[in-house]
Amino acid sequence: MCGIAGIFDSQRTPSAAELAPMVRIQRHRGPDAEGSLVEGPIAMGMRRLSIIDLAGGDQPIFNEDGSIAVVFNGEIYNYRELAEELESRGHRFRTHSDTEVLVHLYEDLGAGMLPKLNGMFAFAIWDRRTQSVLIARDRMGVKPLYYAAIGSRWIFGSEMKSLLVHGSLDTALDEEALTDYLRLSYIPLDRTPYRAVRRLLPGHFLQIRRDGGHVRRWWDLAEWEGKLAEDSAVLEASVRELFDSAVHLRMRSDVPVASFLSGGLDSSLVTVTAQQASSHPIQTFTLAFEHTSFDETPYARAVAQQAGTEHRELTAATQDAIDLLPRLVWHMDEPMGDSSIVPNFLIARFSAEHVKVCLSGLGGDELFGGYSRYNEPGVGRIRSIFRHAPLAARWMAPHVSSWHYSWGEELKLAADRTQAWRAYLHRIQIFNPSALRKLGLAARGRAEEIFESLWNRFPGTDSVSRRQFVDQHTYLPDTILALTDRMSMANSLEVRVPFMDYRLVRLSQRFGSSLKQHGAEFKILLKQALGGRCPPELLNRPKWGFDTPLNRWVSQPGMVEILQGLPYGIAVREKLIDPAAIRALVESPQAIFRNARRLWNLLVLEVWLSVRRELVPPTISLRDLVSVYA
């Protein structure tokens, strides 16, 4: 695991001094070693967190004749099998690292190597023969990569801050992207808060030559036959086989591998399966907050005891955790309105005191149907009824809007068969378009265009799978995987995600709603295939995961004062947001409680605007940061 950065300039050789700050600002991603290459039009470097081949895996790594070099962030889990294949074709290896596989594979196949990789990765391969660089990202977006084109120069890095320290980057804000952030709580697809910076999409590569660069897709979630398997027994066997393989591959390491254990189904399955594959007790880690009903430790203890792990728990004080927000937002590089960044950071920091690598159950919900928003039976039945009575839907909508905005909108959308994508967007948005206009945002944003396009690209007809398809392109890589990467790497901890094995992803596309959700039952096939590995009380417990008691957080006395200072903050002073709209959200404790998610979004934006230019993690607390507004 590493942080990488680089510069490609078609007109001159970049200097080592130009590259150095881009690499060193990512020291938290790799505290163990640093390496770089400056040659011709390329300067690229990395910070290393040593996991595999501790002595021989320093980068850059070269092929036999030195014509191909790589800097690499991530893990190639099937590297042993690939190395055997390459050695049989005459390649000579100098190390036992997974990184060296990349240069030899590229030597044979070029960009055609990418489908052979099973892993999480973002890497840059310099080819002296063609004077070009290949920059690629893994299929699901577990590892990040940002880039920008500036005249004759391209710059890239694992984190956006590595680009921001390069003096030539235009840091003008992208107001469309910020509108999308406030609506969704994240910025989707390739956009970032800065007009000049792009995120390399999952399953894509960027090829740069002296005459320019282009981005190409090398793996596509939509490229499957669209047919659903019908034999549930065969599917159950396939789930068991591929899940076990995914976990076992992610146990490959030259340092101990531990596991996050939330007490939910997904992390429990990962933990139990990892323990079964280990000859000694693995370490497991669980987080709880003081004075909250969101306590999963009893479930986690039951799993740890049954599996025989070496279990540790951390109980965090809520206000102390929230005070870390400036530091966490700095590490995120962009506004991210998911409050689970707090527990993700805390559990990563706690785990990093003991290990370098942890497994995670992330992704199980997006593959196997763990979210209620994928299939809300009550709303679905109402939509079905009113499809046959559209006039009744239009008449009733304004009357039920006063009960809850979403019900009124659902009924309006039920009258139009073509608006199913909009209904899903409506269900998950934080600020609706009307609320965004009240905030004074001039930019429309791209959320509707993105959701409609993805909805229509889905190759099948299954409704739950279609919603998952949208999430797998947006919420999963741009929120869940992004915050997991930043919060873990902020603590120099590698997190591996078995559910993101591309073989499991493809398998999840082969079964429909009936094996994912039915009524109040979720992840049906996953439970049928693997549920017997967990304590019985775990299978039907409420879903919490890394959820946080956000309404309670924002209602604490100290937080109320902080939120009431938002109308005087940077977002208002820079005329991004109308202060009157914020005042309406914080006019009373009841309003604050009711608008918790909206206010958290605004608070994170405010903190990001305050810390985005810092060159080191800020040590100021949230209370001190916003006290200047009082």
**pLDDT by residue (tens digit) across 567-621?**
999 999 999 999 999 999 999 888 999 999 999 999 999 999 999 999 899 988 8
Q: Strands 283-289, 257-260: parallel, antiparallel or unpaired by DSSP?
A: parallel
Task: Give the model's pLDDT for residue 419.
Answer: 80
Residues 319 and 446 in one domain: no
Residues 452 and 596 in one domain: no
Task: Name the band, by pLDDT with cuts 50, 70 and 90, for residue 386.
Answer: low
pLDDT digits (tens, 9 = 90+) for 169-188: 999 999 999 999 999 999 99
Assess whether the previous peptide bond of 144 is cis (omega < 30° from 0). no
Residues 240 and 315 in one domain: yes
Residues 521 and 613 in one domain: no
pLDDT digits (tens, 9 = 90+) for 441-457: 877 899 999 999 999 99
Task: Give the model's pLDDT for residue 551.
Answer: 82
Check whether 388 has a pLDDT greater than 60: no
Q: Which of 498, 620, 617 is CA-nearest to residue 159?
A: 617
Task: Examine the residue annotation and report whether 358 is marked as an active-site residue of this protein.
Answer: no
Check whether 3 has a pLDDT greater than 60: yes
Number of domains in the chain: 4
pLDDT digits (tens, 9 = 90+) for 71-129: 999 999 999 999 999 999 999 999 889 999 999 999 999 999 999 999 999 999 999 99
Residue 38 lies in a domain: yes
Biggest CA pair distance of the chain:
75
pLDDT digits (tens, 9 = 90+) for 14-50: 999 999 999 999 999 988 888 899 999 999 999 977 7
What six digits make up the tokens of 370?
Answer: 């763990």
What six digits make up the tokens of 623?
Answer: 């209370």
Task: Give the model's pLDDT for residue 39.
Answer: 95
Residues 232-261, mean pLDDT to the nearest whole number = 96
Give 346-400 as a DSSP string: HHHHHHHTT-SEEE--TTHHHHHT--GGG--HHHHHHHHHHHS-HHHHHHHHHHH
Task: Name the band, by pLDDT with cuts 50, 70 and 90, for residue 228.
Answer: confident
Residue 415 lies in a domain: yes
Residue 225 lies in a domain: no
CA distance 231 to 441: 51
Residues 276 and 300 in one domain: yes
Residues 443-472, mean pLDDT to the nearest whole number = 92
Task: Give the model's pLDDT for residue 484.
Answer: 98
pLDDT digits (tens, 9 = 90+) for 548-576: 678 888 888 788 889 999 999 999 999 99
Task: Give the model's pLDDT for residue 629.
Answer: 58
Residues 44 and 153 in one domain: yes
CA distance 522 to 514: 10
pLDDT digits (tens, 9 = 90+) for 330-344: 999 999 999 999 999
Task: Give the model's pLDDT for residue 539.
Answer: 78
Check whether 292 has a pLDDT greater than 70: no
Residues 314 and 390 in one domain: no
Domain that holds residue 99: 2-217
Q: pLDDT > 70: what percent of the chain?
A: 89
> What mean pLDDT is reported for the chain?
89
- Dihedral sign, Cα of residue 38, residue 44, residue 49, residue 54: negative
Residue 227 lies in a domain: no
CA distance 72 to 552: 42
Could you give the angle at which helices 420-428 and 463-473 cross, rounded to 10 degrees? 60
Task: Name the band, by pLDDT with cuts 50, 70 and 90, for residue 404.
Answer: very low
Q: Which of 212, 182, 177 is CA-nearest to residue 194?
A: 177
What 513-519 contacts at long range (C-beta under 8 Å, 24+ apart), as own/partner pairs, is 513/369, 513/375, 513/462, 513/463, 513/464, 513/465, 515/232, 515/235, 516/368, 516/369, 516/374, 516/375, 516/464, 516/465, 517/369, 517/374, 517/375, 517/464, 519/377
Task: Give the model's pLDDT for residue 17.
Answer: 95
Residue 226 lies in a domain: no
Residues 247 and 201 in one domain: no
Residues 58 and 197 in one domain: yes
CA distance 481 to 316: 23
Check whether 378 has a pLDDT greater than 60: no
pLDDT digits (tens, 9 = 90+) for 344-353: 999 999 999 9
Residues 525 and 603 in one domain: no
Residues 355-359, mean pLDDT to the nearest whole number = 97
Q: Is the pTM of this model over 0.85?
A: yes
Catalytic residue of the set 2, 102, 187, 382: 2
Residue 543 lies in a domain: no
Residue ending a domain, choose from 469, 484, 510: 469
Residues 182 and 49 in one domain: yes
- Torsion, CA 517, CA 465, CA 534, CA 261, rounded to 10: -120
pLDDT digits (tens, 9 = 90+) for 253-287: 989 999 999 989 999 999 999 999 999 999 999 99
CA 368 remoteness from chain centre: 17
Task: Give the model's pLDDT for residue 20.
Answer: 96
Residues 49 and 150 in one domain: yes
Residue 222 lies in a domain: no
DSSP three-state, residue 260? strand
